Structure 1
Amino acid sequence: MRALVSIFAALLIVISVYQLSFTYFVNSHESAMEAKAKTQVARLYPQSAAQKYPGNKEVQASYQDTLDQAFNARRKKLLDSSKDTKITPWGTTYQKAKESELLLGLDLQGGISVTMDVALDGLIKGLANNSHDAQMLQALNLATQKKQTRSGNLIDLFAESYKEINPSGKLAPLFSNSGRNKLTFDASDASVISYLHDQATAAMKQTYLILENRINQFGVASPNINLDDAKGIITVELAGATDPERVRKYLQSSANLQFWEVYNLGEVAQSIQSADKALQNYLNGVKVDTTAKTDSAKKDTSTTAVNANPLLHAIQFIQPQQDPKTGQPHYSAELGVVRLRDTGLVNSYLSNPIVKNNFPQDLKFLWGKQMTDEDGKPLDVFDLYAIRTVPGTEKAKIEGSIIENANQDFNPTTGEVVVEMSMNKQASKAWADMTTKNVGKPIAIVLDNIVYSAPNVSEPITGGNSQITMGRGRGSNQQSITEAQDLANILKSGKLDAPARIVSETVVGPTLGKAAVHGGMMAFGISFLVIFMLMLVYYNTGGWVANCALILNLLFTIGVLSALHATLTAPGIAGLVLTVGMAVDTNVIIFERIKEELTRGKSYPVAVKDGYRRSLAPVLDAHVTTLLTALILFYFGLGPVLGFATTQILGILLSLFCGILVSRLITDFYTNKNRHFNYFSAISRRIFTHKAFKFIEYRRVAYGISVVVLILGVSSFFHGFKEGVEFSGGRSYIVNFHKPINQEDVRAALKKTLTGTEPEIKTYGSQEQLDITTDYKVKELGPIADSTVLATTFQGLKPFLPDGVTYSEFITTKYLQGNVKVEPSISEELKSGAVKATIFALVVIFLYIFIRFRDWRYSLGTIIALLHDVFVTLAVFSFLKDAVPFTLEIDQHFIAAVLTVIGYSMNDTVIVFDRIREDSKLMKGASNGEIINKAVNDTLSRTIMTSLTVFLTILILFLVGGEVTRGFAFAMLIGVITGTYSSIFVAAPFLVDFAKRRPLGQAQEAVKPAAKSNKVTA
């Protein structure tokens, strides 16, 4: 056995060191390339910003941006050119070593993480025989609304909604089609729902595969994509991605390419005038007949200053230019342009029946791409187009999966960046007919309802070739080139039958990532040193055994993470810090038992042997309960919380191996040479010796405290909590103002711009950096809504930013350090998952304790203690949410903390229970109170020591670990204190009052009658 443990430990050491060596060599190579890049840039720009432009801070800042861009470009070029360079002694290239290094999550290096909801509403419409059936569309809309506030998949919600709208209606007539599927006209609703589920699963897998193909071409080092069939969501993590807008476009494109005929301003000028007047009357409260067409404008011909010409004010219509040859007016393809902040208003106007009824029935409004300047920076304006649909439908003349090939190129005449496309045979013929009929007129080329370009047709186009114009010049606009390459890849990857829409998004700038790494590593290093010294101070030379186990535990945990290509996140570092505190827990249990055996007069070899043997059961129980909650967190968690759960699971398993087997191996190796570790120190001899505290006698007081806790816990639900954006839905922006800012001034300014909302403002690390959360336009979906909210927020923040900062500069990581967006639908899913995880954890622990101790009283005592701990944490987060100088939010990190607290509290409680069970067999005839008092006193030293080690590590994480994990650390601090209290004063004393009729040692077994004796008594 010892030989096997030695071999396995040696293998783990070799594997861990080998895996981590790649990280070392990669960092060394990248540092060398950075130094080389700095040297080369310094030759090109010998003067610093301050030297070149003394006294002019604005010009200095601009010049420094130039230097930074030059450095980043040079560094990237050097790294790209050295991919095949061998950087390890055994000949591994930089590219291969980079693939094997320890991966850092996006919260540590910056990047973007998104949760995408596979949109099945379009799929359901496509599968229906009549996609314009009024009841079907009503049911689909109702199901979509339900999904915003309820968990569940869209198909089941659709079936439920259809029954509500049409109780006697059958689904089969909507979807049966002998030529396309096996559904008959009289098929049952269950068969139809099963068919829709099968089609949805296939569509989701197709969407997943296409998105996987797209992100593999995106160019980040370690892309990660996962599909959850049950929830219908796809999660994508792109650590190191630096262009969030590009990622959004790349992932959300369904590749639905369409070619439309266009209405120009001259053709709809009269309709615009009529619609404008009708809207003006409507906004002023004048009664209007919505069924009328242009007559609506005649209802009231008076002119009023209130709401005058609303359409003409919101949309800047592009007036025609006179053709110098013919003298005729020349109309552009665009109707007009709209400012970004007005797009929501214009959408509401154009969707109003009062306005729609004044335009031709085959007219449909579409937005163009966000306009950019010559440098490719986004402007706050959008083009508005009026396209012509096929009569009686909303379809284009050419649409669908029509592209056989696409690639980025340049227009040989103008030098503009274009995407060249070749169509299939069927589309080629339709394209030739369409261009023949529209010579001299524009045709809008639309992708996913966004107009990319609308060129004039100069002559019929045969052969099926066409192009989309993207930018202004060869090499002068790298952003247009990149965008064209992305678009070509999207078109080649194919159309998505079930497109995915971003419902949750987290963007982390590199500055925040560096701060998270710095804080996490500081917390980790300080925690390690504190626990290392504490073991030596309290356990004398025996502390070296615990410290060796601690070092190996951490080495193995990080090495296995690297070998599994797992991603280390900020919560993952928090998990490592917690592992430091809990890794010595096994040794503390064992050492305390060895000390007991030595105190009883046993020799060192016997005491060590008995100490390890008798500690095995409580050690396993304590770690299994903590492992169960970690597994539950891993199953229900999303995003960075998964990193914490993964680290915790590995730490627990390796803690058992190092604490039991490796520690015993080290101890035996030392004692075989007739030497022994000393487990007593001057401090440990004086603390908790001859303990005889009467805990049971004070249980009534503890019950009273628990009742107060219960009342406060229940009251917290009425008092309310501060929900994080993950659970409340909305958008959150972390903004660096580069100077101290007054929160109240910012709040007052944003209330004026973000109308109808109460934005939440809090500091994030310093007074110069604020975290701004708002639910402004939270129910409006799509990229335009996101851009509108961000632009409106910028308008409110503009007075607090340095003079001259433009919107384009604001959205860079210099000011916008990071942002989070969560739609209400996914926030409900997260809340539902959190509740399920907590309840499931309590049920699993109840069952484990019942199976392990075979006595329901132990299980009930455990659950009451755990509920006590949860209620205390909830009460603190509710009643102190506005009283502390840091954020107390209910989010995924809080749920992770609660589940960890449950596991940790169980760790304490089960140790006490194990000792009660052991003592109940030894103390025959003693009362339950005496047994429990002795058990609590015997384990008190261990309880205090393990609580102290965990408390110290979490306290250090709270103080220096950074903003990302501060709320988690605070919840854990509360949990450690309450968990220790509940184990001693709630769980154990509870057994006294519920074991009056049956001694604890008899468990669930019935009292058997005495066996008949064969002896004959006189």
Structure 2
Amino acid sequence: MNRYPLWKNLLILGVILASLLLAWPNLYSQDPSIEITAARGAEVTEASVGEVRAALENAGVPVKGIEVREGGKLLIRFAASSDQLKGQEAIERSLSARYRTALTLSADLPGWMRAIGLKPMNLGLDLRGGIHVVIDVDMDAALDQALERNLGDVRTQLRDKKIRYQTVTREGARILIKFNDAESRDAGAKALSREFQDLTVQTSQDGDQYLVQASLPETEQQKIKDFALEQNITTLRNRVNALGIAEPSIARQGERRIVVQLPGAQDPGRLKEILGATATLEYRLVDTEGSVADAVAGRVPVGSKLYYERDGKPILLKRRVIVTGDQITDASAGFDGQSGSPAVFVNLDGQGARRMRDVTTENVGKPMAVVFIENRTTTETVDSKPVKTTRKVEEVFSVATIREPFGSRFQTTGLDSSNEAHNTALLLRSGALAAPIQIVEERTIGPSLGQDNIDQGLFSVLIGLGLVVIFMGIYYRVFGMIANLVLLLNLVMIVAVLGALGATLTMPGIAGMVLTIGMAVDANVLIFERIREEIRIGNSPQASIAAGYNKALSSIIDANVTTLIAAVMLFSFGTGPVKGFAVTLTIGLLTSMFTAITCSRAAINLLYGNKRLKTLPV
């Protein structure tokens, strides 16, 4: 009666073994480590490894291991946090400013685990440490950009309709168009109202001047602000994902702010460099006819613009842009097939590809330049107060002769290093920010504080588990010990699923684990009490076991489904910490259904199935 078929027992055993294997990496320690990356224009090489090793030896700091990782990163492991801090001081004193150091934690896994892709759970900001940043979005700049676009579109529309006008200017939050007569004014107002439905168009007269005012209504201004904020969130998420940080949290806060939480990141400089950068490219033809010397002296030819290459050499380029960064659909870093130098491979959209093909077809044999444009924010001390200033930097980093026509895909060379090529491709691929941003709050949580949270959370789980184990063992005897065994298995499976899904464990997640312990054993309590009731009414032990599991199943499912509905609502409407609690609770509900019903039944079947029993140790 109470016996599973062989295939079912083997399936349960396979699930248990797989869970143990996936949870195994979490038993290994997280070593205090330092991650070294190269700043712009530098690379981590074997010489860098030697410098780091020599600096640590001279400072008398013991090292557990040094390894070079993918992406040009150097990881130094230490046995204690005190050695980690001393090592960072020694490295920063010895290495030049071209290298950045970041404190982190790194799991000390065996090679075979890494080879098959096993890894421990991702830990949240409160457990692992990391960076918490609050970003303010310049909404006024977003409105200014929208008005500037409308300003150019208004001029183009009036010219296309062949409506004569005197001037088109911008005064604050409105566009003012002056006409010579009322007929032109009325025609212009009618054309603009039909073409620009998002603008409020009004006509007026000031003496002999006939005016049309176009302005953005409040509802449209709010739409522009909301779009700028959402676009910036999307762009920041793309950039953070490209950095390889596990489970970043990027969320809107209020009307104009964005909160970014990066677990495990310990390098605010690197973060601000990537998040705040607004890089793009422009492709322009070189003006080979104009005089560079005259341009430097202030006599720039009409239709051209003076630029400077990275080495400071002046160069004259055509004002007309071939393609811009917003026409780039994808970008990746690599190396030039002929010279082996770092390169960025660029893909253009349909319009940009046609434009590039037409220009390169007409200008074979002529030079074309690539202009790198970036807004850089620097902090200077003025009157003993830090003052942030943002300046637009335009550099020509590549000038090459057009050998043959090309269109949608091509490469750009002339970069200083593969690290710069990677960063440039990252910024181009993630898109430009819709409005400028400024970091207004920044907190770095060290790994040592995270370890304290882990220790306290683990202690709470052990206390809760220990009390449940003692109660179940005393009250339900052998059956209670089986329930304790599957309860431990339930915790193992939760950890395994979190690691396999790449989910992040936070302090609220640990709270979800503690709650799951009580809910998981509750299912066994219902089953065992039902078995007791069946025995009291005179059923045989074997029939009581079968009836206990069968009759308690509906109550267990009802209880778990109602809790699951609450967890889904918490995940749908909650924020970061609440979502972490909901995820862990949901996983715990699903695993407890398997362990409390299927696994405990399998264990009881193996011990008492198809045996003549007079009593049950329950």
| TM-score of the two chains, using structure 2 as the length reference | 0.53
Q: 1:675 to 1:504 in 2, by over 3 A?
A: farther
Q: Post-superposition shift, 1:512?
A: 1.4
Work out whether 1:511 is the aligned partner of 2:448.
Answer: yes
Q: What pairs with 1:245-260 in structure 2 (closer than 5 Å)?
A: 246-248=270-272, 250-254=274-278
Q: Distance in 2 between matches of 1:621 and 1:73?
A: 63
- Between the two proteins, what is the percent identity of the paired residues? 30
Q: Post-superposition shift, 1:255?
A: 5.4
Q: Post-superposition shift, 1:109?
A: 1.4
Q: Post-superposition shift, 1:226?
A: 5.6
Work out whether 1:657 is the aligned partner of 2:594.
Answer: yes
Report the counterpart of residue 120 of structure 2 in structure 1: 101
Work out whether 1:16 is the aligned partner of 2:19.
Answer: yes
Work out whether 1:44 is the aligned partner of 2:58.
Answer: yes
Give the residue type in structure 2 aligned to 1:584: V
Q: Post-superposition shift, 1:46?
A: 4.6
Q: Post-superposition shift, 1:594?
A: 1.5
Report the counterpart of residue 871 of structure 1 in structure 2: none
Q: 1:241 to 1:78 in 2, by over 3 A?
A: closer
Report the counterpart of residue 622 of structure 1 in structure 2: 559
Choose the corresponding residue for 1:635, options 572, 581, 592: 572
Q: Post-superposition shift, 1:564?
A: 0.4
Uncovered stretches (5+) of structure 1, i.e. residues with no partner? 49-61, 138-171, 258-399, 408-423, 426-444, 456-460, 467-480, 682-1018
Q: Distance in 1 between matches of 2:612 and 2:466?
A: 27
Q: What pairs with 1:42-121 in structure 2 (closer than 5 Å)?
A: 43-46=57-60, 66-67=86-87, 69-70=89-90, 87-89=110-112, 92-93=114-115, 97=117, 100-114=119-133
Report the counterpart of residue 236 of structure 2 in structure 1: 211
Q: Distance in 1 between matches of 2:601 and 2:326?
A: 69
Report the counterpart of residue 599 of structure 1 in structure 2: 536
Q: Post-superposition shift, 1:667?
A: 2.0
Q: Distance in 2 between matches of 1:554 and 1:199?
A: 48
Report the counterpart of residue 543 of structure 1 in structure 2: 480
Q: Distance in 1 between matches of 2:192 and 2:18?
A: 57
Report the counterpart of residue 451 of structure 1 in structure 2: 389
Q: 1:453 to 1:630 in 2, by over 3 A?
A: closer
Report the counterpart of residue 499 of structure 2 in structure 1: 562
Q: Post-superposition shift, 1:122?
A: 4.3
Q: Post-superposition shift, 1:530?
A: 2.4
Aligned Cα root-mean-square deviation (Å): 5.8
Q: Post-superposition shift, 1:590?
A: 1.2
Q: Distance in 2 between matches of 1:22 and 1:510?
A: 19
Q: Distance in 1 between matches of 2:56 and 2:269?
A: 32
**Is contact 1:254–1:448 with CA below 8 Å preserved after alignment?**
no
Choose the corresponding residue for 2:545, options 605, 608, 612: 608
Cα deviations by residue, 1:725-782 (Å, 9 ceiling, x for unpaired)? xxxxxxxxxxxxxxxxxxxxxxxxxxxxxxxxxxxxxxxxxxxxxxxxxxxxxxxxxx
Q: What pairs with 1:151-300 in structure 2 (closer than 5 Å)?
A: 178=195, 207-208=232-233, 210-218=235-243, 221-222=245-246, 224=248, 236-244=260-268, 246-248=270-272, 250-254=274-278
Q: Distance in 1 between matches of 2:614 and 2:190?
A: 81
SS at match of 1:602: coil
Q: Distance in 1 between matches of 2:447 and 2:587?
A: 28
Choose the corresponding residue for 2:511, options 570, 574, 582: 574
Q: Post-superposition shift, 1:17?
A: 2.5
Cα deviations by residue, 1:443-493 (Å, 9 ceiling, x for unpaired)? xx96479535799xxxxx997999xxxxxxxxxxxxxx9x99999678756
Q: What pairs with 1:482-497 in structure 2 (closer than 5 Å)?
A: 495-497=432-434
Q: Distance in 1 between matches of 2:613 and 2:251?
A: 55
**Is contact 1:30–1:79 with CA below 8 Å preserved after alignment?**
no
**Is contact 1:104–1:567 with CA below 8 Å preserved after alignment?**
yes
**Is contact 2:59–2:90 with CA below 8 Å preserved after alignment?**
no
Give the residue type in structure 2 aligned to 1:240: G
Q: 1:504 to 1:580 in 2, by over 3 A?
A: farther
**Is contact 1:540–1:679 with CA below 8 Å preserved after alignment?**
no
Q: Distance in 1 between matches of 2:139 and 2:496?
A: 42
Q: Distance in 1 between matches of 2:83 and 2:502?
A: 40
Q: How many matched pairs?
A: 419
Q: 1:65 to 1:564 in 2, by over 3 A?
A: closer
**Is contact 2:127–2:451 with CA below 8 Å preserved after alignment?**
yes
Give the residue type in structure 1 aligned to 2:268: P
SS at match of 1:584: helix
SS at match of 1:241: coil
SS at match of 1:541: helix
Report the counterpart of residue 923 of structure 1 in structure 2: none
Q: What pairs with 1:412-491 in structure 2 (closer than 5 Å)?
A: 447=376, 450-451=388-389
SS at match of 2:389: strand
Cα deviations by residue, 1:705-729 (Å, 9 ceiling, x for unpaired)? xxxxxxxxxxxxxxxxxxxxxxxxx
SS at match of 1:496: coil
**Is contact 2:253–2:259 with CA below 8 Å preserved after alignment?**
no
Cα deviations by residue, 1:668-712 (Å, 9 ceiling, x for unpaired)? 23222516697667xxxxxxxxxxxxxxxxxxxxxxxxxxxxxxx
**Is contact 1:256–1:448 with CA below 8 Å preserved after alignment?**
no
SS at match of 1:615: helix
SS at match of 1:540: helix
Report the counterpart of residue 210 of structure 2 in structure 1: none
Q: 1:640 to 1:28 in 2, by over 3 A?
A: closer
**Is contact 2:280–2:428 with CA below 8 Å preserved after alignment?**
no
Q: 1:498 to 1:544 in 2, by over 3 A?
A: same
Give the residue type in structure 2 aligned to 1:665: A
Report the counterpart of residue 520 of structure 2 in structure 1: 583
Work out whether 1:670 is the aligned partner of 2:607.
Answer: yes
Q: Post-superposition shift, 1:182?
A: 7.4
**Is contact 1:110–1:509 with CA below 8 Å preserved after alignment?**
yes
Q: Distance in 2 between matches of 1:463 and 1:610?
A: 80
Q: Distance in 1 between matches of 2:467 and 2:517?
A: 10
**Is contact 1:541–1:677 with CA below 8 Å preserved after alignment?**
no
Q: 1:650 to 1:676 in 2, by over 3 A?
A: farther
Q: Distance in 2 between matches of 1:515 and 1:540?
A: 36
Give the residue type in structure 1 aligned to 2:22: Q
Q: Post-superposition shift, 1:254?
A: 4.9
**Is contact 2:139–2:435 with CA below 8 Å preserved after alignment?**
yes
Q: Post-superposition shift, 1:207?
A: 3.6
Q: 1:123 to 1:679 in 2, by over 3 A?
A: farther
Q: 1:602 to 1:116 in 2, by over 3 A?
A: farther
Q: Distance in 2 between matches of 1:133 and 1:453?
A: 25
Q: 1:599 to 1:201 in 2, by over 3 A?
A: same
Q: 1:210 to 1:115 in 2, by over 3 A?
A: same
**Is contact 2:251–2:260 with CA below 8 Å preserved after alignment?**
no
Q: Post-superposition shift, 1:646?
A: 0.6
Q: Distance in 1 between matches of 2:601 and 2:280?
A: 65
Q: Distance in 2 between matches of 1:21 and 1:211?
A: 34
Give the residue type in structure 1 aligned to 2:577: P
Q: What pairs with 1:605-1004 in structure 2 (closer than 5 Å)?
A: 605-674=542-611
Q: Distance in 2 between matches of 1:77 and 1:497?
A: 29
Report the counterpart of residue 288 of structure 2 in structure 1: none
Q: Post-superposition shift, 1:598?
A: 1.7
